[in-house]
Structure 1
Amino acid sequence: MVDCGTNYEEPSVPRNTPPTSDGIYFGLMSGTSLDGVDGIAVEFAAGKPPLVLADAFVSFADGLRGALLALQQPGENEIEREALASSALASRYAVCCHELLRSANVGPTRVRAIGVHGQTVRHRPEKGYTRQINNPALLAEMTHIDVVADFRSRDVAAGGQGAPLVPAFHAQIFGSDDETRVVCNLGGISNITILPAAVDASVGASVRGFDCGPANVLLDEWAFRHIGMPYDEGGRFGASGTVHQPLLNALLDEPFFEQAPPKSTGRDLFNAAWLDAKLAAFSDAELKPADVQATLAALTGVTIAREIERHASDCRAVYVCGGGARNPQLLKAIDAALARSGVNGVPVRTTDALGVPPHHVESLAFAWLAMRCVERTPGNLPAVTGAAGERILGAIYPR
C-alpha cells in the first residue's frame, strides 16, 4: 500500500444535506513537479472577480511521489500500482480539502464542488488518450462534497490535445482592453496563453495557448541528482553556473520546439532519459553540474521567448505564474531570451502584478472549470486545444 503521509480527518456532516448556491468551489492542482497539491477555496459571483477564501498546500510523502514517478513509464503490475496510488492521492486531496474547510471556516454543504485535476501519468493525445489518475469517488466519499474530475478526456475525444485548459480562465481574469498580454505558466512544463487586447469571454476564439517545453521537470531532476534537493530553491544552484552554449544547442535540437500549435507535452517526452541522451554527447569534464542547471533554465527561457516572438510579437507584458515563478533564475532566463529576440523590451512580471499570486492561478482555474461543468457550460477553447468544438469538461461524482 502506498503511504499517503498524513491521516485524513473526516468532517462530521449529514450526507444528504443539499449544498447551497452561494458559489463556493474548491480547486486542487497537483502538477508535473510531483511535490504536492495546491488547493484553493474561492467564491464565484456573476460580475465580480473571484474571491479567494483560503489556500492550502499539502506535500506528497516520498512513497507516493515515488509511486507516481514510477507510473510515468511502463512497468510491471501497473493496474494495481495505479489503483493504490490513486487512492493514496485522493487521501492527500482530502487532507487539502479539510485544510480549506478549516481555513475558510465553511462546512462541506456550502461547497458546490471540488475541481480536481488529478495526476498526469501519460499524455498521448496523438493516440487519442490522456491519463490523469485520481480516485474521485473516494474523494467524494471522504469529503461529502461533489467532485468534478477528468477534465481533459472530453476535449481529447473531440480531437483536441486536452491541454492546456487554463487559457479560458486566463482570458476571464487577465485580459486587457489596451494591450496584448502573455501569461506564462512555469510548472513541470512551460506553457503560454496569448491574450489579445480587449479579449473577453465572447471572443475566446482569438485566445491562443500551448505548451512550450520543459520547465521545472528537468530542473528538479537535475537538482535532486546533484544537490539532493527536490528543487533548486531560489535558483541558487543554477545561479552558480554558466550557460553552456553547445549543450543548449543540443537541447534545442528537438522537433517539438518547431512544431506548430496546438501542441502539448509532458514527461512522456521531457524526462531523465531525454536529458541523459542529450548529455551523452559531452564528457563529464566539459560540463559542471551547476552549468547544466543554468543551461536548463536557459532552455526554458529560449523556448518561451521563441514562441512569443512567433505568435505574440505585439505583446506588451509577460506575466508568470506556477512554481517556477519562485525561481529568479528562470525569470531572468526568460527576460534575457526576450531581450535577444524581436520582442525586446517586454517586461517580465509575476501575476502578483495583476492581483493573483502565482501559486493560486492553476488551482483557481480548476475551481473555475468545475463551476463551468456544474453549470453545463463549455470549458475548453477549440482554438487552443484543436478540439472540434466547445465541450463541457469533467465528470461529476456526487457526494
Structure 2
Amino acid sequence: MTGMRTAIGLMSGTSLDGIDVALLRTDGESIVERGPSLGRSYESAFRRRLQGALETAKVIKDRTERPGDLREIDRELTLRHAEAVRTLLAENDLKPADIDVIGFHGQTVLHRPNDALTVQLGDGGLLADETGIDVVYDMRANDMVHGGQGAPLIPAYHAALAAGLSQARRGAVVFVNIGGISNLTFIGSGGERIVAFDSGPGNTLIDQWVEAHAGIPYDQGGMIASEGRVNADLAGRYLGHAFFTDPVRRSLDRNDFRPPEGKEASLEDGARTLAHVTAAAILRSARHLPERPKLYVVCGGGRLNRVIMDDLASLAQVEEAEVVAAEAVDLNGDSMEAEAWAYLAVRSLRGLPLTFPGTTGVKAPVTGGLLRKSGMAG
C-alpha cells in the first residue's frame, strides 16, 4: 500500500468570483502528480448574494448558526460545487468511483481567530451525496480548537511543491497567494523550516473599489490601475496599519481592511494606489520572515494584474530577490489552492498534520477535517 490516492480539491476564495477545481494524485506527503483543473465563475446575482452573506454572517456567535438566508445559500453553494465536480469528471472521462476523496473548502463568510471562530458555508454531506464521492471538509476548525489561527492551511502543500523547485536549492523560497487576502508561505534554505501567515489585503480592496465606482467585478489585468497614479497619503494610511509591525502574525478577515471612501481618489488613482498597497504589503510582511527570500512564486488571481506584479518585482529587486508567476516554474497559479485542498484531504484521511506552529500558531502539529462518506460509495 503506497498511500497514493486520487483526490479532487475545491476552492472558493475570498474574492467571491467562483470555484476552482483540481485533480491530484498524491500520498499526502512528498509525491504530487498534478492532473486536470478548471474554473467556474459565479453568476453576478449569486456573487451579490455571497457579498450579502458576509454582512449577514457578522452576527454569528456559534459556527453552526445560519441566520437569515445563509442556510439557503449554503445549499445553493454546495450544489454549484457538485456541478463543478461533475463537469471535471465528464471532461476527463472519469467516474465517481475513480476518485477517492474530495477536499471541500467551502466559502468563508466569517473568520475571527481571536474569538476562535471561523465559518465556511458548504454542506459536506450534501456534496458527498450529490457526487457519490467521500468528502473531507471543515479543515480549519480543529486547528483553532488547539490554539491556532485556522489559517493558512496551504503551506503543507507549498512545501511539497518547493521540494521540486530547482531554485529552492539556492535559498529560501516564498509562495505568495494573491487572492482576496494575500498570504505567504516561506520554505527556508534546505526546506527544513516552514513559516506562513497572511500578508495583507490582496485583490479584495481593488475588487470592491472598481465594483463600487465602475460597476465591474475586478480590474482585469490591471488596466484601470495602469491609467492612474499612486496616492502616497492614501497608500501610507494602509501601509501604516499596525498589522504590518505587530510581531504576532495573525490571519485576516476581508473586513480588516476597508476600501477608500468614494471621494478620496479617482477611479484610476484608487485602483493604482490599491495595487501598490497589495504589492507593498507583501514585502512589509516578509520582514517578519526568518530569512530573506531569494525567490517569490506568485499564484492566485492577483498574479494576472500586471501593475501588482510590476510593483512587487521592483520592490523585491531592491532586496535582491526575484518574482515569478507560478507558470514560470511549471506550476498552475489558478489551480494551486484547489490542488492544495485535494492534498490536504489526503493528509486528513491519513491522520497527518494539516497545520504547524510556524504556520497557524497552533501549539503542536495537528490534523483536521471531517469525513463524510458518500451514500453511493461502494
> TM-score, normalised to structure 1's length?
0.86
* Whole-Å separation in 1 of the counterparts to 2:109 and 2:27: 34
Structure 2 residue aligned with 1:132, among 120, 135, 147? 120
Cα displacement (A) at 1:50:
2.3
Provide the residue aligned with 2:182 in structure 1: 190
Q: Does 1:369 align with 2:344?
A: yes
Q: Is the 8 A contact 1:213 1:265 kept in 2?
A: yes
Cα displacement (A) at 1:193:
0.8
- Over residues 68-94 of structure 1, what are the superposed CA-to-partner deviations in whole Å (9 max), with x where a residue is unaligned? 211212479952411111100001101
Give secondary structure in 2 for the equivalent of 1:385. coil
Q: Is the 8 A contact 1:71 1:78 kept in 2?
A: no
Provide the residue aligned with 1:115 in structure 2: 103
Give secondary structure in 2 for the equivalent of 1:184. strand
Q: Does 1:331 align with 2:315?
A: no
* Whole-Å separation in 1 of the counterparts to 2:325 and 2:348: 29
* Whole-Å separation in 1 of the counterparts to 2:207 and 2:159: 30
* Equivalent residue pairs, number: 363
Give secondary structure in 2 for the equivalent of 1:192. strand
* Whole-Å separation in 1 of the counterparts to 2:242 and 2:28: 43
* Whole-Å separation in 2 of the counterparts to 1:339 and 1:253: 22
Q: Is the 8 A contact 2:156 2:354 kept in 1?
A: yes
Change (3 A) 1:37 1:142: same
Provide the residue aligned with 1:91 in structure 2: 79
Provide the residue aligned with 1:34 in structure 2: 16
Q: How does 1:234-313 map to 2 (within 5 A)?
A: 234-270=221-257, 274-276=258-260, 279=261, 284=263, 287-311=265-289, 313=291
Q: Does 1:58 align with 2:40?
A: yes
Q: Is the 8 A contact 2:208 2:259 kept in 1?
A: no
Give the AA of the match of 2:249: P
Q: Does 1:24 align with 2:2?
A: no
Cα displacement (A) at 1:382:
1.9
Q: How does 1:136-175 map to 2 (within 5 A)?
A: 136-175=124-163
Q: Is the 8 A contact 1:320 1:351 kept in 2?
A: yes
Q: Is the 8 A contact 1:113 1:370 kept in 2?
A: yes
What are structure 1's unaligned runs of at least 5 residues? 1-20
* Whole-Å separation in 1 of the counterparts to 2:354 and 2:326: 22
> TM-score, normalised to structure 2's length?
0.91
Change (3 A) 1:250 1:22: closer
What are structure 2's unaligned runs of at least 5 residues? 60-64
Provide the residue aligned with 2:50 in structure 1: 68
Provide the residue aligned with 1:388 in structure 2: 363
Q: Is the 8 A contact 1:380 1:392 kept in 2?
A: yes
- Over residues 32-72 of structure 1, what are the superposed CA-to-partner deviations in whole Å (9 max), with x where a residue is unaligned? 00010000011125887422332111121233222221121
Task: Indicate the larger mover: 84-93 or 244-253.
Answer: 244-253
Give secondary structure in 2 for the equivalent of 1:336. helix
Q: Is the 8 A contact 1:28 1:116 kept in 2?
A: yes
Task: Indicate the larger mover: 382-391 or 155-164.
Answer: 382-391
* Whole-Å separation in 1 of the counterparts to 2:83 and 2:247: 40
Task: Indicate the larger mover: 221-230 or 74-83.
Answer: 74-83
Higher normalized contact order (CA 8 Å, seq sep 6+, divided by chain length): 2
Q: Is the 8 A contact 1:122 1:268 kept in 2?
A: no
Provide the residue aligned with 1:351 in structure 2: 326
RMSD: 2.1
Structure 2 residue aligned with 1:320, among 293, 298, 317? 298
Q: Is the 8 A contact 1:161 1:385 kept in 2?
A: yes
